[in-house]
Structure 1
Amino acid sequence: MKKFEIYKNIRKRAVIWGLPISLFALMMISVVGALLMIIFSFSFSVMVGVFIFNAALYIALTRISASPQLFHFSKVFPEIISNKKSNHFNYEQD
Structure 2
Amino acid sequence: MKKYEPYRNIRKGAVIFGLSLSLFALMMISIIASLLVIIFSFSLGIIIGALLFNAGLYIALNRISRLLEFSQIIGVFPKIISNKRISNLRYEED
Matched residues in 2 for 1:3 and 1:67: separation? 30
Which position in structure 2 is the counterpart of 1:46? 46
Report SS of the residue matched to 2:39: helix
Q: Distance in 1 between matches of 2:10 and 2:24?
A: 20
- The answer to which structure has the higher helix fraction is 2
Following superposition of structure 1 onto structure 2, how do residues 55-70 of structure 1 map, counting pairs within 5 Å?
A: 55-68=55-68
Equivalent residue number for residue 28 of structure 1: 28
Give the alignment's TM-score, normalised by structure 1: 0.65
Amino acid at match of 2:45: S
- Cα deviation for residue 35 of structure 1 reads 0.5
Identity of aligned residues (%): 58
Match of 2:83 in 1: none
Measure, in 2, the Cα distance between the counterparts of 1:54 and 1:3.
Answer: 32
Greater RCO (Cα-Cα under 8 Å, separation 6 or more): 2
The answer for unaligned runs of 5 or more in structure 2 is 80-87, 89-94
CA separation in 2, counterparts of 1:12 and 1:68?
Answer: 11
Which structure 1 segments of 5+ residues have no match? 85-94
When the two structures are aligned, how many residues end up with a matched partner? 77
1-structure distance, mates of 2:8, 2:68: 23
Q: Displacement of 1:15 after TM fit?
A: 0.4
Question: Could you tell me how far apart the structure 1 residues matched to 2:68 and 2:31 are?
Answer: 23
Tell me which residue corresponds to 1:92. Answer: none
Pairwise CA distance, 1:8: 3.2
Segments of 4+ in structure 1 off by > 6 A? none
For the residue of structure 1 that corresponds to 2:13, the secondary structure is coil
Q: What is the deviation of 1:12? A: 1.8
